[in-house]
A and B are shown apart, each in its own frame.
Chain A
């Protein structure tokens, strides 16, 4: 069983919709990362958070340490947001454990 579970695995939305991607993990962590991977492209680090909430443009990431759960929200989604979104945690060491990713497709 993967220690990091993401849901949904696939998500299709219409432009302008509010998007939520969820991440649950099973161990104590010190930091949680949200990453974005465009098709054929590299990976971009979106957020690193250990508590509360962070916002960057239309992206918002939240984490609940007690519930071992994090969410990534995208407001006013746009086709250019189409990508794979990956959740990863850094626990007692620096070796990140990754979720399998959520494939988001935003249609115009």
Chain B
């Protein structure tokens, strides 16, 4: 079956531009997560969606970052006025149940480069 799909796989943008990153979770998975992996750094949590509940945005690094999840499925992470420090691999993951200990299924990520 299809896994978690992210697009684009690579994105190069100029500083100051806005970007949108897309995540299609596995069908039926109710939980969706966004993480970021910066060069030389570990993974860090950004935001979590669970069903129709209000998302947990506590990991978003600044108000330039926002995310939405439409219809409990596809999610879009938007970064406004990109900065060079936003360059990273943005990873999306989904899990099948609300149980926070459910195994995660990761997408291949979007590599964002801000020039």
Contact = CB atoms under 8 A, between A and B. Distances in A.
A99 B41 CA distance: 9
B: interface residue count bin: 20 to 34
A94 B35 CA distance: 12
Contacts of B44: 98
Contacts of B91: 42-43
Contacts, number: 57
Interface of B: 31, 33, 35, 41-45, 48, 50, 56, 58-59, 91, 93, 100-109
Given A88-B43, A95-B59, 14 more contacts: A2-B42, A30-B100, A31-B101, A35-B106, A42-B107, A43-B93, A43-B106, A48-B102, A94-B31, A94-B56, A94-B100, A97-B45, A98-B43, A101-B42
